[in-house]
Amino acid sequence: MAVSKIFLTKNLQLRLNTGLDASFNPIMKTRSWAGIKANATDVNLFELAEEIGSLQTHTVDEIRTTTVQALEED
């Protein structure tokens, strides 16, 4: 059985370090943007994330992308 992927959407996430809890463990929050265009390159997304990150109060710990795809039998 052959299966192919169909692109649905791409998401951008910034993982922010918002401080420390009572045990001095980092508190992480995630900001997400959905519906990124399929033709946005990783370089485009990284540059966008850096720009958005510079506007945040908290430190950006990690930049992530996720791609949502549907599986279809050929």
Identify the pLDDT of residue 38.
Answer: 82
Task: Give residues with Cβ within 8 angstroms of 67, minimum separation 6.
Answer: 7, 9, 10, 11
Identify the pLDDT of residue 58.
Answer: 96
- Angstrom distance (rounded) from CA 55 to CA 50: 9
Q: What is the pLDDT of residues 17-68, one digit of tens each?
A: 999 999 999 999 999 999 898 889 999 999 999 999 999 999 999 999 999 9
Domain boundaries, the chain: 15-68
Identify the pLDDT of residue 37.
Answer: 87
